A and B are shown apart, each in its own frame.
Chain A
Amino acid sequence: MTRRRGAFFAALGAGALQASTARAFEGQVRAETAAQAWQVRGPSGAPVLSLRRLTQTLSLGAWQRPEDPRGAVWTVRARLRIDSDFGGACDASGERCLGELERSRTADFAPLFARRAVDLPFAYIDAQGLLRRAVDLRVGRQFVVDPLGFFVFDGARVQLHLGARARVELYGGLETRTGFPLSSGRFERDGLQRADRAGWDPTLAPNVQDRAQAGAAGLAVTLTPTRALHARATWRRVWTRDGTAEEKLGGSVELQTGAYSLVTAEAVYSVPHNTVGNLSVGLEYAPPERASWGVELSRFRPTFDATSLWASFWTDPTDDLRGRLELPLGARWTLVASALARRYALGETAPDRGVPADRDAFAGGGGLGLLHRRSRAEGSLRARAETGGAGSRGGLDLTASWWARPGRIRLDGGASLWAVEDALRDTRMVSVAVLVGAMVRLGRVAEVSFNLEEDTNPVVGARLRATGILRLLGPF
């Protein structure tokens, strides 16, 4: 163990020595403050949530490029976010508001609601190109994005470049989970409700699990034997005191079959569920300045946290055939189209307990859009209709933006008309919405935008939604 730790620090030291000949750090700070106000009303009319939300984020990025282009590049990146909710939940008359945060008022208490959430989506130090560009190292809170999905953890990731055609990635640490300081748990597997239950009465909200640490380890191998072939195989395991929460194997391949055509395939197997959660094969054809299109055939079966009850529930796969087309119509106009045909494979599992096999169900839909772009303006008109899946919806969205002063002041507008049918509730509804907004750049460091949206439908009546965002950007 000591020898291994010694080798690790030796590698770090070697990297640091390499970096000593580098230039000083360059950096960038971004700050964003978003203020939002809107109302949400439940389907029966009460209560009404008056949401007043202030979200502040501060992002830092700094990097050091060496004089020698073959030297190691050091990068530091971090983001801090404070999400404050000043809203309230009151009955329709507004005479009584719920005590959503007061655990003593069990009738009003909303266990998953937090008035203020502070989290650190990522914060890491990264060194690329250590040991003669053979090793990359990243330490801290970081993302992994691969066929297994998003994953965020606190720990270390090492990437070994085995020549120009292969690389191996190893990572391990603690998963970022709900209930811990500076953690959002957003990318935790779905299924369980969690919170920091410290100080809670055990009988209060028994469905909400207490926070729990989870160890995580992963391995990925990426191969590019030729410029036309790219393949990746990946494995990840996450475990808690309750057992294995996730163990998945995944793989993806992309093969360039022509100058502009590409065949892709992806599969994800869940070990505890003993099932293939994702399987897809696709084809893309994207020549420059001509019609580009893609088709994908995929099978999806939801998989939940293996320590949750849902992991053992009967779920049937859905098979999708998706297609998309983008057709440039001259220099300014573009036509986009998409289509989906879905089969719910309900009849696929044979009955063994006298449960009759159901017939497959189908869903489908498509969209058509016309996009227009000029030097000072752009707009789009998109139509979409979908049916099946216990409901249907169809509608039109119109958006337009115009630079009143190029690069400085932009005016935005939009309108929507949607019709929705909910087959399970036997309801139909038409919704109309209009939006106006503007964005102003103040020099090179600041940008202010706001928009107002008026929504009208039979459920909530007329509601106004306001959003204002201030973005600041600066080097240091």
Chain B
Amino acid sequence: MARRLALLLLGAVLGAVFSVRAQVPAGVAPRPPSRAIYPTQTIPLRFDHSRHLRLGGMTCQRCHTNAHTSDNVGDRLTPTEGTCLPCHAIDRGEPLRQRAPTARCDGCHEGWDPSRPLRVERVQVPAANLRFSHRAHASRGVPCERCHAVRGVGLATRLELPRMESCLGCHRPGGAPDACATCHLQRADGTLETRFAEGWLNPPAWMPGLHHDADFWVDHRASAARDASRCAVCHREDECTDCHDGRVRDRRTHPNDYVTLHVPDARLQGDRCGSCHRVASFCQQCHQRLGVSEGASTSARIFGRVHPPAREWVDPPVTARHHGAEARRSLTTCVSCHAEGDCVRCHATLERAGGGFSPHPPGFAARCGALLRASARPCLACHEDAEALARRCR
């Protein structure tokens, strides 16, 4: 039954893989770039790159005069009125005069108001949140259009700015420097800056295994385990220890009144609790102080009922409310209150004055050798003769 279920689920997963693959379009679909990298621009202009580039002898550098010498993303590289003047006979004294090519203010400036002829809406192109040198690229002979595909474009906007996928064509292992910090801004401690005025910088969707969705803070374990060096590019260890060794409760994982409500959660998700709490110290410490734990000081011990009545919890038969079944299901929960000695009392052999009730799984004798070779200490808590054990354990 179990195998059939596993095969069914595996089939479903594989089916999903191939169905997903079939849906994925060839290549990466065009989409707006991150506002964290390229903040929102305001370009109230009429302009057609494709039309200009069709003119004979037109080059990018003709209008973007200082682009090839720029070392800083903060440099203003968009053309000014003076750049247009050699071709467009702009005359501020006659802003409405028809000429070819256009010289009227509203030929280029959207929303220009003839009643306030010297006022135009400002072009705002904030600096990208990157480190970038046009000079370094131009000096290596990288043509502008390799990064800025504007030949068929009218007004170039954020959409025409280069994406990381295209950068990685050259910035790859064995090629141009490929460290993230080659282009991305860093904090003073060496990690990447991820908080910007227009949002957080998250890994792009095409970067496998790093998709930071809304519940990533609770589902990131597998991604981090597969390669934590990827996380370390942006995150410091502080951010790990704030939660995973935390001293201040994280309300996202522990909703209000969690101290009172944690019991069924710990039984159901005990494996997840272990990612932040060491059961035999964190849980035990509080349980001992509150008198819940078997090892609590006698003054603090509570005498109310924590477990089902002894006739169900301790005596046979083994039902779902028996401690044996609960231990098999969630031994971690037992360890949150009990120490080894509590179990040895009954589970030790008769020779060690215990009850002789074996806590081992069926077939344990056939494979206990590995545990015995690792450490005889726990074995000798219940058994007397280590040599006899070594003979019995394979």
A244 touching B237 by the CB < 8 A rule? no
Closest Cβ neighbor of A117 among chain B residues:
B247
A11 within 8 A of B: no
B261–A425 touching, CB < 8 Å: no
Known interface pairs A46-B302, A313-B327, A459-B260. Does A193 touch B284 (Cβ–Cβ under 8 Å)? yes
Whether B340 sits at the interface, judged by CB under 8 Å, is: yes
Residues from chain B with Cβ under 8 Å of A343 in the complex: 5
Q: Are B247 and A34 in contact (CB under 8 A)?
A: yes
Q: Size class of A's contact patch?
A: 35 or more
Asked whether, in the complex, the Cβ of A338 is within 8 Å of the Cβ of B215, the reply is yes
A311–B377 Cα distance when bound, in Å, is: 11
CB contact between A393 and one of B13, B265, B290, B304 (< 8 Å): that residue: B265
Q: Closest Cβ of chain B: how far from A90's Cβ, in Å? A: 10
Residues of B within 8 A of A (CB): 2, 5-6, 9-10, 12-13, 16-17, 20-21, 23-25, 27-29, 31, 172-174, 177, 179, 181-182, 186-191, 204-206, 208-209, 211, 213-215, 219, 222, 224-228, 231, 236-238, 240-241, 244-245, 247-249, 251, 255-257, 259-261, 263-265, 267-268, 270-271, 274-275, 278-282, 284-286, 288-292, 295-300, 302-308, 317-318, 320-321, 324-332, 335, 339-344, 358-364, 367-368, 370-371, 373-379, 381-382
A-B Cβ contacts below 8 A, count: 455
Q: Assess whether B371 is in contact with A272, with CB atoms less than 8 Å apart.
A: yes
Q: Is the CB of A283 within 8 A of B378?
A: no
7 cross-chain pairs, A with B, having the tightest CB-CB distances, nearest first: A61-B189, A243-B375, A164-B173, A433-B256, A391-B264, A207-B339, A63-B190
Given contacts A110-B289, A143-B240, A355-B318, contact A259 B206 (CB under 8 A): yes
Would you call B297 and A100 a contact (CB within 8 A)?
Answer: yes
| Chain B residue at smallest Cβ distance from A195 | B281
Across the interface, which residues of A come within 8 angstroms of B173, CB to CB?
163-165
Given A55-B248, A287-B205, are A418 and B261 also a contact pair (CB < 8 Å)?
A: yes
Neighbour of A252 across the interface among B23, B226, B290, B329, CB < 8 A: B226
| Cβ–Cβ < 8 Å partners of A194 in chain B | 281
Give CA–CA (A393, B21) in the complex, Å.
Answer: 38
Are B268 and A389 within 8 A (Cβ)? yes
A297/B189 contact (C-beta < 8 A), A121-B237, A264-B209, A314-B327 known: no
In the complex, are the beta carbons of B268 and A122 less than 8 A apart?
no
User: In the complex, what distance in Å separates the CA atom of A424 from the CA atom of B6?
Assistant: 30
Output the nearest chain A residue to B219 by Cβ-Cβ distance. A324
Contact with B along A49-82 (1 / 0, CB 8 A): 1000101010101110100011001010101010
Cβ contacts A191-226/B at 8 Å (1 or 0 each): 111100000000001111000000000000010000
Contacts of B302 in A (CB 8 A): 42-44, 46
* Whole-angstrom CA separation of A316 from B361 in the bound complex: 9
Measured CA separation A115–B290 after assembly (Å): 16
> Which chain A residue has the least Cβ–Cβ distance from B291?
A42
* A281 and B228 contacting across the interface, CB-CB below 8 Å: no
Interface residues of A in 323-365 (CB under 8 A from B): 324, 326, 334, 336, 338, 342-346, 348-353, 355-356, 358, 361, 363, 365
Question: Using Cβ atoms and an 8 Å threshold, which residues of chain A touch B27?
Answer: 259
- Which residues of chain A are near B5, meaning CB under 8 Å? 343
**In the assembly, what is the distance between CA of A69 and CA of B184, in Å?**
13
User: In chain A, what residue has the closest Cβ to B274?
Assistant: A190
Most buried by B among A26, A53, A280: A26
Is the pair A314, B361 in contact by a Cβ cutoff of 8 Å?
Answer: yes
Whole-angstrom distance between the Cβ of A127 and the nearest chain B Cβ:
12
**Contact among B206, B363, B375 for A306, CB-based, below 8 A:** B375
What residues of A have a CB within 8 angstroms of the CB of B374 in the complex?
243-245, 247, 271-272, 306-307, 311
A259 to B382, CA, bound (A): 56
Residues of A within 8 A of B208 (CB): 228, 230, 254, 256, 262
